[in-house]
Structure 1
């Protein structure tokens, strides 16, 4: 097909495995570090692959120790951990479901035990399950999507806040679908819209404490979630409709998270950045 971007491919499990993708997403930072997160400690949920992996490795290059939270993708997580260690930083691997509040509490507890502090929380874990008809969305799917994509953000923020102080940052992953909708991802898009409201509301609550809360709304990015979500034809065409005529790579999105996490964004809170290949949206 004339607009094929990547080879057709599918995966039969969520949120997908980067080891099974071809070509592999580009995650390594594209420039030398400058110490923008020197001596910081960060948690990245969904940090094993995709955007989370690129963010974690970039944070390490900029000087942060990183805790990677992942669901079950052990091989992907190990590759990310090796990349962090290659940057001279520590990687703490924490496997579990962010939809479980007890697990989220334990994540933060282990980070404090390992590193003694916490400076940056990146809420990034997500799942999506396309359905052409809203009536096909089962109560179980609706519940699980909200538990991962929204409840997990609440739980992680609640667990982290006792350890965050002035100058700390929370960065949430929303999506372009929060702004333009997605007919086949009604429940997923709904969670992403809620994350925008969560970001704006929490930023106002925490401003007086000097804790900044922002978000990133990626467009079509080449991550394991794509072949784990769509059929082979859609995967092959993924990103072709954007003004830049291609999907973005994780390492093209990660700098948005770095900017919002570091002091470069010291006067920015309650905002959303839009690395989406040129799509103009409101908000």
Structure 2
């Protein structure tokens, strides 16, 4: 392995990507993590919870005592693995297949959580997709709509459905991206959609603060998730994360504690903020 190679070259031809064929497997559960019951009695709904960051957050929440519901598109094997990981900590997850870009599905998902658990305390808008294009001329209207449908409209629709059901003390956590701050010449529409997530987070935090609901975001840097091999050519995957100060990609288990913090009462005086988990890239905001 060369000095700049961080992973074995690999590529998946199908989006969304699958976690099961990745090598090495993303680490979604840190065995050294010490839970402290920070989310005991809480109910969380997580989008993109079948794999990557979403699965790591779901497992961490379960370890902290939360009941967990998660949404995935159609990755049945990954969803089964996520359910098993959550069950290993004494929680039976509610898993729902569907497209977050569909407002009706978002309303049904929230209704199912309420029917199953009786209340909803934590919403994590994490589902995302990205498509590699090196020229703006190559981004089709369909791609632009699809990227924003998953990354922003879905976040908006699910939050819109959930907010009337949230109680004071609830938390909303959105997944932004380092690209919203640094930009990306080959992920133009993705970066723009994540910039919208940041602006939405700050604005909604101001709107909901009087209702006792906190709204924050996490902006991951290069994290080893199925999004990566399903987006980039194999050779580019092999150098993934090498340009960070830490010289490597992060693992989902290294991002999950930021979500636990923002969901818990430890963050009771924090709203409208973005936590940057990116291997040392210093950013403003």
TM-score range, shorter chain: over 0.9
In the alignment, what sits opposite 1:200? 202
CA-to-partner distance for each residue in 1:216-267, whole Å, 9 max, x for gaps? 0000000000000000011000000100000000000000011000100000
Matches within 5 A, 1:188-227: 188-227=190-229
Q: Distance in 1 between matches of 2:118 and 2:14?
A: 36
In the alignment, what sits opposite 2:104? 102
CA-to-partner distance for each residue in 1:11-65, whole Å, 9 max, x for gaps? 0112200001000000113312110000100001000000000000000000001
Q: Distance in 2 between matches of 1:39 and 1:89?
A: 12
Matches within 5 A, 1:117-132: 117-132=119-134
Q: CA deviation at 1:68?
A: 1.1
Matches within 5 A, 1:1-283: 1-29=2-30, 30-283=32-285
Q: Distance in 2 between matches of 1:75 and 1:159?
A: 28
Aligned alpha-carbon RMSD (Å): 0.6
Q: Distance in 1 between matches of 2:243 and 2:25?
A: 21
Q: Distance in 2 between matches of 1:2 and 1:247?
A: 14
Q: Distance in 2 between matches of 1:2 and 1:208?
A: 51
Secondary structure in structure 1 of the residue aligned to 2:277: coil
Secondary structure in structure 1 of the residue aligned to 2:161: helix
Which stretches of structure 1, 4 residues or more, deviate above 2 A after TM superposition? none
Figure out how many residues of one structure are paired with residues of the other and give that number. 283
The normalised TM-score by structure 1 is 0.99
The normalised TM-score by structure 2 is 0.98
Q: Distance in 2 between matches of 1:257 and 1:131?
A: 30
Q: Distance in 1 between matches of 2:264 and 2:79?
A: 24
Q: Distance in 2 between matches of 1:90 and 1:40?
A: 14
Q: Distance in 1 between matches of 2:142 and 2:177?
A: 22
Structure 1 runs not aligned, ≥5 long: none
Q: CA deviation at 1:2?
A: 2.8
